[in-house]
Structure 1
Amino acid sequence: MIRDWEKILLVYEQAVEELKIKFKSIRKEYRNTDEYSPIEFVTGRVKKISSIIEKAKKRNISIDSIEDGIEDIAGIRIMCQLVDDIHRVVSLIRDRDGKDLKIVEERDYINNMKESGYRSYHIIIKYPVHTAFGAKEILAEIQIRTLAMNFWATIEHSLNYKFKHNIPKDIKERLKTAADAAFLLDMEMSAIRDEIMDAQQIFQAKSTIVAKILRNIQYLYFSGKIEEIEDIRDRFFDLNEEGDINRLKEFNNYLEKLMDKYNIRKLI
């Protein structure tokens, strides 16, 4: 049977976009509350038709069974900074099981790495997509890995493509050594996890308060009611250079009181 794969894959493309939005929203929620986010960034893709057909042939899957036999036509990749973050993301996904997705299978390639040195955590899900032609439940794969794991996996994928999955023995050995080095880096980063989280939370908190200050200075400027606006700007530049978050918060409170005094919010 000849199938219109371009039309079929539109559903998978919709699923990828929806899942990306969901996980990016989780990251945003953490950052908006100045909390450390276990999600660094999210990517997604739908397999090309040629890759789908090639994988089906390799696994001896019939054309009519492809959507049930290949779990990663739609794929989401969630990158984390630390190995511990992977487990936090897995927990977040498990919490959604039975709500907006269903977990079919979990594959832990971190504690049970592949012979090549590949490490990642895979979760196969069923995800309902609502289209103009009705609802359809599809299979999708979520890969969760650290930045170091992702760097290694990207290189290995490129080499597999170049050598058509027959990577020379010496390169395989060097890849395995590189995989071990990447994992050692992850372990070292995990050892100073608390310091990393503290540093990033401070950075995020400062970024948030600076954004609020800049917004309030803009409101004060356009109100035309504050004569000392240049002095306010200069004071902000000095405080920002100094970098003391508590003094920045105090300064923002001062701006908020000025805005209340002149009822500026109602004028903007």
Structure 2
Amino acid sequence: MEDTSIELKNVMHWKTEMVRFMMAYKFAVEEVSTKISILQQEFQQIHDYNPIEHVKSRVKSPESTFKKVQKKKLPLNLPVIRENIRDIAGIRINCSFVSDIHRVADMLTQQKDITLIEKKDYIQNPKTNGYKSLHLIVQIPIFMSDRVENVYAEIQIRTIAMDFWASLEHKIYYKYNKAIPKSLRDDLRDAAVTANELDERMERIHKEVSQLKEDDHQNGNGEKPIIFPPEFLSMLAENEDKS
């Protein structure tokens, strides 16, 4: 009877630790997503251009996580898993232009509570199949009721064109059970080149438009000042007197 009681306590302890383990990644995604949301809102309200188009996040399921544990031949030990599998929490950011990617990455990694652990630049050095993206492994503190968990998260930043290509490649990859026919691999590489050409063209257009706006501003042809009606100014003056 005593052995059964000890075994039950061990099971309950493992279950509690497992719940904490997965919750920490959920909170990490929420923390990073909040930081990105703040940047989005700041750019929308204050600046005339927002580099962040779309954000998507996910936490790997326990099943998917343990499949990776088996693939890496790791022991079923939570601290070991935490240290060796760093993409359980994942955030993907889509930007309009290639130049935005490093700009957004810098804004995030320069925040005091985000520590950059690893950076893989598949934009400067694309994968052989044509895949392009910027991958960051970061660590962020999560304050629990009785501890602070330093949690790893993976942030992928790419353009819309890169994301469209990667999504298509991913679907084909699993449809053919990772054995993609050569003709399709060649087509995908060609599509990657086309996507890159589109990004370069859109970048040029973006720079030209920005230069035209800058020229207009310097020549005094920029946005005209806002002229408030007298009634509005009187209302502001009355409120200021009351305060």
Structure 2 residue aligned with 1:56: 69
Query: TM-score when scaled to structure 1?
Result: 0.73
State the alpha-carbon separation in 1 of the partners of residues 20 and 208 from structure 2.
Answer: 49
| Residue number in structure 2 paired with 1:137 | 150
In structure 1, the gaps of 5 or more residues are 202-243
| Aligned equivalents of 2:213, 2:104: Cα separation in 1 | 18
Q: Distance in 1 between matches of 2:209 and 2:67?
A: 43
What is the percentage of aligned positions where both structures have the same residue?
A: 35
The one-letter amino acid of 2:200's match is: M
Residue 35 in 1 paired to residue 8 in 2? no
Alpha-carbon shift at residue 31 of structure 1 (Å):
1.8
What SS is found at the alignment partner of 2:149?
strand
Which residue is equivalent to 1:246? 224
Q: Which amino acid aligns with 1:132?
A: S
> What code does the residue aligned with 1:37 have?
N
C-alpha distance in structure 1 between counterparts of 2:25 and 2:238, whole Å: 45
Task: Report the Cα offset of residue 158 of structure 1.
Answer: 1.9
Where does residue 180 of structure 1 map in the other structure? 193
What letter corresponds to residue 149 of structure 1 in structure 2? M
RMSD: 2.7
Contact preservation (8 Å) 1:80, 1:146: yes
Distance of aligned partners of 1:194 and 1:132 in 2 relative to their CA distance in 1, 3 Å threshold: same
Letter aligned with residue 259 of structure 1: F
* Superposition deviation, residue 60 in structure 1: 2.1
Determine the C-alpha separation between the residues in 2 that align with 1:103 and 1:27.
21
Aligned-pair CA distance for 1:94 = 3.5
The match for 1:93 is 108
Tell me, which stretches of 5 or more residues in structure 2 are unaligned?
1-9, 215-221
How far 1:120 sits from its partner (Å)?
0.3
Change (3 A) 1:107 1:263: closer
3-state SS of 1:246 partner:
coil
Say which of 21, 25, 37 aligns to 1:24.
37
Q: Where do 1:223-234 residues align within 5 Å?
A: none
- Could you state the TM-score of these two structures normalised by the residue count of structure 2? 0.80
Which amino acid in 2 is paired with 1:30? F
Aligned partner of 2:95 in structure 1 is 80
User: Does the 8 A contact of 1:86 with 1:144 survive in 2?
Assistant: yes
SS of the residue aligned with 2:141? Answer: strand
Label 1:262 to 1:140 Cα distance change in 2 as closer, same or farther (>3 A): closer
The one-letter amino acid paired with 1:94 is T
> Residue 94 and residue 264 in structure 1: after superposition, are their counterparts in 2 closer, same or farther (change >3 A)?
same
User: CA distance change for structure 1 residues 12 and 76 in 2, over 3 Å: closer, same or farther?
Assistant: same
Distance apart, 1:92 and its partner CA:
1.5
Counterpart Cα distance in 2 of 1:135 and 1:183: 42
- Map Cα deviations across residues 110-164 of structure 1 (whole Å, 9 max, x no partner): 0111111110001111111112232100111111100110111111222223233
Cα distance, 1:92–1:34 mapped onto 2, change above 3 Å: closer
